[in-house]
Amino acid sequence: MLNNLKYVMLITASALIITVCGESETPAPSSSSETALAVTATETPPAITEEPQPALGRVTESADAVMATAPESVPEIAEPEPAPVTPPAETVAPAEPVAETPVADTVATATPATTAPVDGGQIYNTYCAICHKLGMNAAPKYGSKPLWAKRIAQGRETVYTHAINGLRGMPPRGGFSTLSDDEIKAGTDYMVRASGGWGNN
């Protein structure tokens, strides 16, 4: 700034001198002097004014103030829960109607099963002959009418009861518990008929 001011004052003083000299009929300065002054004034660069830079301490203080006012922690933002996914309802095809089968009007009549008659001779030969063939253990001997006459006189049901439940030396069912009542009766009938009882039928 001082240099510029000196140049301006110098130029102004030169101009006043030129004006005074012209009026006093002093010969005008040579053109070379004027050119030198003009060149000197032109070549002098203007002073550059630098803008003041902010102090580094102030910037640091401002940053510290901003950090002091900032919250210590940023609150967490709760994420929205996903909406429950509802599976699409299954489409069930309507069941096709089942054709009803007509029931036959006539129902077959069940034929009752017929039980084959028990073979009394086989029962006697397999089980009863062990004692009655020889009259062992006071058993009436097979085919002996006198020995069977007393038993036959007691009646058929009494003879059946003695044969099933046992009598004196004869065990129940002749000692064969697997025999049924019908099998015991069939064996008894076979021996009685052979000894003249039950009408020989």
Q: Which of 18, 53, 58 is nearest to 38 (CA)?
A: 18
Q: What is the largest CA-CA distance in the chain?
A: 214
Q: Coil, strand or helix: which one is 141?
A: coil
For the stretch 136-194, pLDDT in tens is: 878 888 888 998 888 888 888 999 999 999 888 888 888 888 989 999 999 989 999 98
Going from N- to C-terminal start, the domains of the chain cover: 2-43, 120-200
For residues 4-28, average pLDDT: 59
Burial 71-83 (b: 16+ CB within 10 A, else e): eeeeeeeeeeeee
Measured distance CA(185)–CA(119) in Å, rounded: 10
Give me 70's structure tokens.
């900032």
Q: Which of 120, 199, 92 is nearest to 152 (CA)?
A: 199
For the stretch 39-95, pLDDT in tens is: 444 455 555 555 555 554 554 555 565 465 555 555 566 666 766 666 666 666 666
Give me 97's structure tokens.
């109607």
- In this prediction, residue 182 carries a pLDDT of 92
Q: DSSP character for 175?
A: G
Q: Which of 188, 127, 123 is nearest to 160 (CA)?
A: 188
Topology (CATH) of 120-200: Cytochrome Bc1 Complex; Chain D, domain 2 (1.10.760)
Residues 6 or more apart whose Cβ sits within 8 Å of residue 130: 136, 174
Question: Residue 137 in contact with residue 169, Cβ under 8 Å?
Answer: yes
Measured distance CA(177)–CA(199) in Å, rounded: 29
- In this prediction, residue 72 carries a pLDDT of 56
The 3 state secondary structure assigned to 86-133 is: CCCCCCCCCCCCCCCCCCCCCCCCCCCCCCCCCCHHHHHHHHHHHHHC
| pLDDT above 50: residue 29 | no
Measured distance CA(16)–CA(22) in Å, rounded: 10
